[in-house]
Structure 1
Amino acid sequence: MSIRNNHKLSLTQSFEEILEAVQPMITAIFTQLHIYKDFDYYRHIASIAVWRAWLKADPAKGQFSAYLYSSIKGEILNELSKEKNYSERITVVDGETLNFILSDMEGWDNQKNPSLLEIKLSQLKQIEREILLLYYVEGYSDQEIANALGLSAVAIKKRRGRIIQRLKHQLSRVE
């Protein structure tokens, strides 16, 4: 595969030369993977992939440029996958949401470390956070939440109660 100015990539080149030569390849991968933000971060990921490929490459196993391409793309895809998994598991909880939930937690002093509650909320399953958000922030009824999530209203009410009890229990153990 030819890169900028028809230079062939070779293991005899320094890492810096190879990294400079593959910049158009990295840009093409960004375009292909629809990466339109955090360019510096992903260029860093790509640079690490180039470094690892440069260290591990074996000319007997095939063309170096193809190995570089698959290494760079693979590392970026791995990072995108990690970010997607993280964003599916973590929901940022704003102050308004915390206040609504705190107000429903009888016996919990609202002045006690709300950041601790935020940490505990972030550890909940996605559906549990969704139930709390829909109920306390959006003002949905149990029936509306049930319709939205494909569960029964009774199940939503019980689940919400268990979530609140679990949060109270976890927070009381920390005190």
Structure 2
Amino acid sequence: MTIQRNNQKLSPEQPFDEVLELVQPMITSILLKCQIYKDFEYYRHIASIAVWEAWHKADPSKGLFSAYIYTTVKGEILKELSKEKSFENMNTPMDNETINYIRDHEMSERNPVLIECIMSHLKFEERKILLLFYVEGYSYSEIAKELCLSEAAVKKRRTRIMIKLRKLLSSIDE
């Protein structure tokens, strides 16, 4: 598998920028074979990093450089997909459970200072996501547009916010 463009052969002696440019069609092919149809730029970025790693570690005596790049890129993409699936399986969001607990239970027993205390532990973007999702009733896609993020990024961040809130609540209850 030798990649050529304008009679230019791919080799580890070429500058990285040139190598990265030459392998763009390969990266697109790998992304499509891995059935990546959303967050395309995110995975293209991961692929670019994998190309850099392959370029940096390449040993021409061990085989074709293009084959090494292909296996490195595909391996990193599959690893990231696996991590994402594992994260989703282990950290399912709990919808309104935590928010309702804070609002109904804690507010009636204590006071609004608790909410301020909890919210002060969140970053501005985290507070904004909570506000848009729970108060304004925005969908994931609407929040993504508002914050200039992908829908997947909003979902992951909301999941992480819920985990953070659980930890904060458990530390307060102790």
- Which range, TM-score by smaller chain? 0.5 to 0.7
List alignment gaps of at least 5 residues for structure 2. Answer: 122-160
The Cα of 1:168 is off from its aligned counterpart by 6.8
The Cα of 1:83 is off from its aligned counterpart by 1.2
Q: Distance in 1 between matches of 2:89 and 2:98?
A: 20
CA contact (8 A) 2:46 2:77 kept: yes
Q: Which runs of structure 2 are paired with 1:1-175 in the superposition (5 Å)?
A: 1-3=1-3, 5=5, 7-94=8-95, 96-102=96-102, 103=104, 108-109=109-110, 111=112, 112-113=114-115, 118-119=162-163, 170-173=171-174
Q: Distance in 2 between matches of 1:122 and 1:63?
A: 50
Higher relative contact order (CA 8 A, sep 6+): 2
SS in 1 for 2:93: coil
Letter in 1 for 2:20: L
- 59-68 or 104-113, which moves further after superposition? 104-113
List alignment gaps of at least 5 residues for structure 1. Answer: 124-166
SS in 2 for 1:83: helix
Q: TM-score, normalised by structure 1?
A: 0.60
Point out the structure with max Rg over C-alpha. 1
Over aligned residues, Cα RMSD in angstroms? 3.0
Q: Distance in 2 between matches of 1:68 and 1:78?
A: 15
Q: TM-score, normalised by structure 2?
A: 0.61
CA gap of 1:45–1:171, structure 2 versus 1, over 3 A, is same
CA gap of 1:122–1:3, structure 2 versus 1, over 3 A, is farther
Q: Distance in 2 between matches of 1:91 and 1:110?
A: 29
Q: Distance in 2 between matches of 1:63 and 1:45?
A: 22
Q: Distance in 2 between matches of 1:169 and 1:8?
A: 59
- Work out the number of aligned pairs and report it: 129
Percent identity, aligned pairs only, is: 50
Q: Distance in 2 between matches of 1:65 and 1:110?
A: 63
